[in-house]
């Protein structure tokens, strides 16, 4: 060919069973040129990667790992639509890359046979070749390729072997004509399909062969449901009649599909695959004897979960403190360049604090994602689900929900994102909606403050510890009836199958694990980040305006001046007397008096701000819970992010906003807070009711944002907010009233 053709663009679909190393292969093929998005209207992740191979552009579409192309939901239908070229935002598929686990060929070939039925040019990749060798499995690739009539390549994706050959094979395959389907079923079946075609054709609108076959085979499946709605209400009856006829002819639906496809796979592999008669005990088997053991399995499991939590507190905490210090330093530095006024406050307290509010999450989230990604990649996550399933079934979920909910005890964000491993949509949604009830680490400062101030330290602090324990698990206990109700109302349906493969253990691939962590953290920052930032600025504005802050700024400046004077005096004293003696009391008192004046002014401004006014106006709403408007303001301000309550209470009680939950000044301020008639505000029932409110309320804009992302709809995020706020209010009300009656 003398004329150079313009670079062709080919679309390749990548499909295979879960646990075949598909993601590893996909990233080995596409490198960093991957875009992750969403198919419209479903929660399925759309992953498209781009390769340039010798002048041809290959667009790889990664379909979710699946054991079969028999769609039972809209989410599962997406893969079928993509393959049939019916997914508009993907377009026509030029070739299919079918990836299988070389050590587990027979079961893997089930979905391969369905893919071959679709009729597209296909390339088969036998991945995990090293695992097969370790098991003593020998495969005659050439004969296999000849029998199938398609190119077959071997691969060890994590070692990136044979990648270039796979790319070439894909390009060549795309130039092949469409294939014939395998036609594995008995003739009666195809006759019924032809009959179905005439019955369902409306206005020359014919369903493709593949969908007609699915319609007949998947009793109660998605295609039947969809077509009944779209075409004819008689369809179920017609299908039932067809299935009865086939059953009478010895062709029982759906068993016949499994029978013919597995028979085909077995025959295909006869003489091609040689494996030892007695499956050798692999390292993986030995590990499993231990990890799924009745006793040791549970021990290991508890240790793994414990390690996950400890790593957050040991690993993430120092990083988070560093980030907070950094944020304050930056805030101070930037603040010093800007003249006093609302702009300065906006930048320091609104923008920088807003960004800080996003960034401070990152160490915790990254660490949790890392843990979850490692567990998933090495295969342990399936064992965790296996061990915990019975317990989870008792609360209406399945074992696969355990690790996501467990992670939510540290932070709901990675927990909710981890629900992607739950294939069943109903279970996944219910898990997502109750995850925020798990007492996350951001609630601890509130508990610590109130328990420290109001729960007596009797029995060597055991009572305080017990209260903390109860508060932490309150959410989880409440989650049980909530999950039950959700399953009975919004998420009715058949119990999903737990049928789950226990994949062989493998060393987690650092590349895959780290890229997964990176993707998720990036996704969090970009999506949730903008919202958290915006809400922080909004709350800042509501707490700042409409008061005139000139007096506050003057007082604050005076404080700084006096502090500098104090420091200078101390320096002088040191140099003069060589003693580390502080300044004389009058100077210290002057600084403190100035600080007090500044704090009182801040408090006054907060009272007249929109937020303060809202708190006061809403006092009737807070009174049944035993709260006054100040607590109300604190609670309102912490809707975007719960930790804010501590510093807001600090401002409200004119201690300045730099306080933390250990601050004695804040604790005593709370203890001495009174109603206008002198009664103390914070009795034990009130303290408990505030804690219960925080335990049950969705005060985290980031979590709501992630829920919106994972459920592909604003509705569920709004629903979570509403139901949890109602639950929190009722819970707080009950706690207060029962508490006052009791104590």
Partner 1 sequence: MITLNELAVGQTGVIRDVRGDDGISARLLEMGLTEDEPITLLGAAPLGDPLEFSLRGYRLSLRRSEAERVDVELTE
**β-bridge pairing 95-101 and 9-16:** parallel
Sheet containing strand 9-16, strands side by side: 34-38, 45-53, 56-62, 9-16, 95-101, 122-127, 152-154
Provide the token pair at 464: 């305080």
CA distance 448 to 455: 10
User: Within 10 A of 444 (CB to CB), how many other CB atoms are there?
Assistant: 17
> Contacting partner 1 (CB under 8 A), which of 218, 377, 427, 643?
218
Which CB, 247 or 600, lies closer to partner 1?
247
Query: Residue 282 contacts by C-beta under 8 Å, 6 or more apart in sequence?
Result: 134, 135, 504
Pairing of strands 34-38, 45-53: antiparallel
For partner 1, give the closer residue by CB, 394 or 679.
Answer: 394
What is the sign of the dihedral through the CA atoms of 110, 114, 117 and 122?
Answer: negative
Query: Which one, 262 or 545, has the nearer CB to partner 1?
Result: 262
The span from the first CA to the last CA of the chain, in angstroms, equals 93
CB 501 → partner 1: shortest distance, Å?
6
Among 267, 495, 572, 672, binds partner 1 (CB under 8 A): 495
Q: Is 149 in the site for partner 1 (CB under 8 A)?
A: no
Q: Which of 39, 110, 371, 736 binds partner 1 (CB under 8 A)?
A: 110
> Closest CB to partner 1 among 107 and 147?
107
Q: Which of 21, 151, 297, 436 binds partner 1 (CB under 8 A)?
A: 297
> Could you tell me the smallest distance in angstroms from the CB atom of residue 398 to partner 1?
9
Span near partner 1 by CB under 8 A; candidates 82-90, 320-328, 497-505, 596-604: 497-505
CB 255, min distance to partner 1, A: 6
Position of tokens 């100077």? 587
Residue 42 or 500: which CB sits closer to partner 1?
A: 500
Helices 714-742 and 462-488 pack at an angle, to 10 degrees, of 130
By rule CB under 8 A, what count of residues binds partner 1? 46
Out of 74, 193, 444, 502, name the contact with partner 1 by CB under 8 A.
502
Residue 248 found at the interface with partner 1 (CB under 8 A): no
Helix (H, G, I), strand (E, B) or coil at 519: helix
Under the binding rule (CB under 8 A), the answer on residue 237 touching partner 1 is: no
For tokens 């596409």, what's the residue?
30
Which of 202, 206, 255, 568 is close enough to bind partner 1 by CB under 8 A? 255
How far, in Å, CA of 314 to CA of 321, rounded? 12
Minimum CB separation of residue 250 from partner 1 in Å reads 12
Annotate each residue in 26-65 with x if it binds partner 1 (CB under 8 A) or - if it does not, as one string: ----------------------------------------
Q: Is 270 in the site for partner 1 (CB under 8 A)?
A: no
List CB contacts of 122: < 8 A, sequence separation 6 or more.
95, 96, 97, 98, 112, 115, 116, 150, 173, 179
Quote the DSSP letter at residue 351.
I
* Long-range contact set of residues 131-137: C-beta below 8 Å, sequence gap at least 24: 131/101, 131/102, 131/103, 131/504, 131/506, 132/102, 132/103, 134/103, 134/282, 135/103, 135/275, 135/276, 135/279, 135/280, 135/282, 136/275, 136/276, 136/280, 137/102, 137/103, 137/273, 137/274, 137/275
Nearer to partner 1, 36 or 287 (CB): 287
Q: If binding is defined by CB under 8 A, does position 21 make contact with partner 1?
A: no
At its nearest, how many Å lie between partner 1 and the CB of residue 487?
A: 16
In angstroms, what is the minimal distance from the CB of 68 to partner 1?
4
Stretch binding partner 1 (CB under 8 A), from 47-55, 481-489, 498-506, 577-585: 498-506
Is the CB of residue 111 less than 8 Å from the CB of residue 67? yes
Q: Figure out which of the listed residues 2, 178, 456, 494 binds partner 1, where binding follows CB under 8 A.
A: 494
The binder of partner 1 chosen from 52, 194, 244, 501 (CB under 8 A): 501
Check residue 180 for interaction with partner 1 (CB under 8 A).
Answer: no
Task: Count CB neighbours of 387 within 10 A.
Answer: 20
Q: Using CB under 8 A, pick the residue from 161, 238, 292, 565 that binds partner 1.
A: 292
Q: Is 620 helix (H, G, I), strand (E, B) or coil?
A: helix
Q: Minimum Å distance from CB 137 to partner 1?
A: 9
Told to check if 187 binds partner 1 by CB under 8 A, we report no
Q: Should residue 533 be labelled a site residue for partner 1 when binding is judged by CB under 8 A?
A: no
Nearer to partner 1, 18 or 342 (CB): 18
68/228 with CB nearer partner 1 = 68
287 binds partner 1 (CB under 8 A): no
Q: How far is the CB of 144 from partner 1 (least distance, A)?
A: 16
**211 CB burial (10 A radius; 0-12, 13-18, 19+):** buried
262 is a contact residue toward partner 1 (CB under 8 A): yes
Which span (105-113, 227-235, 456-464, 583-591) binds partner 1, by CB under 8 A?
Answer: 105-113
Member of 42, 74, 165, 298 binding partner 1 (CB under 8 A): 298
**Would you count residue 106 as binding partner 1 (CB under 8 A)?**
yes
Tell me the window of 147-155, 217-225, 456-464, 528-536 that interacts with partner 1 (CB under 8 A). 217-225
Q: Does 7 bind partner 1 (CB under 8 A)?
A: no
Q: Which is nearer to partner 1, 296 or 313 (CB)?
A: 296
The backbone torsions φ and ψ at residue 242, rounded to the nearest 5 degrees and listed phi first, read -60, -40
Helix (H, G, I), strand (E, B) or coil at 39: coil
What is the pairing mode between strands 138-139 and 273-274?
A: antiparallel
499 lies in the binding site for partner 1 (CB under 8 A)? yes
Task: Candidates 23, 70, 87, 689: give the one binding partner 1 (CB under 8 A).
Answer: 70
Instruction: Say how many residues make up the chain.
Output: 743
Strands 56-62 and 95-101: unpaired
Radius of gyration, CA atoms only, the chain: 32
Give the list of residues 6+ apart from residue 329 with CB closer than 8 angstroms, or none.
Answer: none
Residue 151 phi/psi, 5-degree rounding, is: -65, 140
Candidate residues 47, 72, 443, 520; the one interacting with partner 1 per rule CB under 8 A: 72
Site for partner 1 in 367-396 (CB under 8 A): 382, 386-387, 389-391, 393
Q: Which of 190, 498, 719, 733 binds partner 1 (CB under 8 A)?
A: 498
Peptide bond into 574 cis (omega under 30): no
Q: Which is nearer to partner 1, 40 or 271 (CB)?
A: 271
Residue (of 643, 686, 676) closest to 661 by Cα position: 643
649 close to 446: Cβ distance less than 8 angstroms: no
Tell how far CA 564 is from the center of its chain. 48
Give whichever of 248 and 571 is closer to partner 1, judged by the CB atom.
248
Question: Is residue 294 close enough to count as binding partner 1 by CB under 8 A?
Answer: yes
425 touches partner 1 (CB under 8 A):
no
Helix (H) / strand (E) containing 9 = strand 9-16
**Which residues bind to partner 1, rule: CB under 8 A?**
67-68, 70, 72, 103-104, 106-107, 110, 218-221, 253-255, 257-259, 262, 275, 279, 288, 292-295, 297-298, 382, 386-387, 389-391, 393, 399, 494-502
């Amino acid at each position: 060919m003398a004329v150079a053709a313009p670079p062709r663009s080919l679309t390749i679909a990548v499909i295979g069973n879960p646990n075949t190393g598909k993601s590893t292969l996909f990233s080995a093929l596409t490198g960093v040129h991957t875009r992750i998005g969403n198919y419209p209207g479903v929660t399925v992740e759309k992953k498209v990667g781009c390769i340039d191979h010798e002048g041809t552009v290959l667009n790889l579409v990664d379909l979710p790992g699946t054991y079969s192309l028999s769609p039972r939901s809209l989410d599962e239908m997406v893969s079928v639509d993509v393959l049939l070229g019916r997914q508009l935002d993907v377009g026509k598929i030029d070739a299919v890359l079918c990836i299988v686990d070389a050590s587990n060929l027979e079961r893997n070939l089930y979905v391969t046979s369905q893919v071959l039925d679709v009729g597209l040019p296909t390339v088969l990749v036998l991945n995990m070749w090293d695992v097969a060798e370790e098991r003593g499995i020998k495969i005659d690739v050439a004969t296999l390729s000849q029998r199938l009539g398609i190119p077959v390549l071997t691969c060890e994706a994590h070692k990136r072997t044979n990648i270039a050959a796979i790319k070439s094979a894909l390009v060549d395959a795309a130039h092949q004509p469409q294939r014939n389907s395998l036609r594995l079923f008995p003739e009666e079946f195809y006759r019924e399909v032809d009959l179905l075609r005439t019955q369902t054709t409306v206005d020359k609108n014919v369903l493709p062969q593949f969908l007609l076959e699915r319609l007949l085979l998947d009793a109660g499946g998605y295609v039947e449901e969809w077509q009944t709605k779209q075409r004819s209400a008689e369809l179920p009856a017609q299908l039932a009649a067809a299935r009865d006829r086939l059953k009478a002819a010895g062709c029982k639906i759906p068993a016949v599909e499994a029978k013919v496809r597995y028979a085909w796979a077995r025959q295909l592999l006869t003489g091609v695959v040689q494996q030892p008669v007695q499956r050798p005990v692999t390292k993986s088997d030995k590990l499993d004897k231990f990890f799924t053991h009745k006793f040791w399995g549970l021990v290991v499991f508890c240790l793994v979960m414990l390690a996950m939590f400890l790593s957050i507190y040991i690993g993430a905490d120092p990083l988070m403190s560093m980030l907070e210090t950094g944020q304050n330093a930056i805030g101070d530095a930037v603040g010093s360049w800007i003249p006093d006024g609302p702009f300065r406050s906006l930048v320091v307290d609104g923008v920088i604090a807003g960004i800080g509010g996003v960034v401070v999450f990152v160490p915790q989230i990254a660490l949790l994602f890392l843990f979850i990604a490692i567990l998933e990649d090495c295969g342990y996550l399936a064992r965790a689900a296996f061990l915990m399933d019975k317990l989870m079934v008792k609360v209406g979920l399945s074992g696969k929900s355990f690790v996501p909910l467990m992670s939510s005890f540290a932070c709901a964000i990675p927990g909710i994102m981890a629900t992607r491993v739950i294939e069943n949509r109903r279970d996944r949604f219910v898990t997502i909606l109750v995850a925020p009830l798990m007492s996350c680490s951001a609630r601890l400062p509130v508990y610590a403050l109130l328990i420290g101030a109001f729960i007596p330290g009797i029995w060597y602090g055991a009572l305080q510890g017990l209260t903390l324990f109860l508060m932490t698990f309150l959410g989880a206990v409440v989650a049980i009836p909530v999950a039950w109700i959700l399953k009975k109302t919004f998420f009715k349906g058949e119990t999903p199958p737990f049928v789950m493969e226990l994949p062989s253990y493998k060393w987690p691939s650092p590349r895959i694990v780290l890229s997964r962590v990176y993707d998720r953290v990036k996704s969090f920052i970009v999506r949730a980040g903008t919202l958290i930032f915006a809400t922080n600025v909004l709350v800042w504005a509501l707490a700042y305006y409409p008061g005139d802050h000139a007096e506050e700024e003057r007082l604050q400046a005076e404080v700084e001046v006096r502090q500098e004077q104090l420091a200078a005096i101390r320096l002088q004293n040191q140099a003069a007397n060589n003693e580390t003696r502080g300044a004389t009391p009058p100077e210290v008192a002057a600084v403190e008096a100035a600080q007090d004046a500044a704090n009182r002014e801040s408090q006054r401004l907060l009272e007249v701000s929109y937020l303060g006014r809202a708190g006061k106006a809403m006092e009737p709403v807070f009174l049944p819970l035993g709260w006054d408007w100040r607590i109300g303001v604190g609670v309102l301000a912490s809707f975007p992010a719960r930790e804010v309550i501590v510093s807001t209470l600090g401002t409200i009680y004119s201690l300045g906003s730099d306080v933390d939950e250990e601050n004695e000044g804040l604790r005593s301020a709370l203890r001495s807070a009174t109603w206008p008639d002198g009664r103390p505000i914070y009795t034990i029932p009130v303290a408990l009711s505030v804690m219960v409110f925080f335990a049950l309320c969705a005060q985290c804009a980031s979590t709501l944002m992630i829920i919106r992302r994972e459920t592909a709809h604003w509705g569920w995020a709004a629903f979570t907010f509403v139901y949890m706020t109602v639950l929190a209010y009722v819970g707080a009300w009950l706690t207060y009233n029962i508490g006052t009656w009791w104590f």
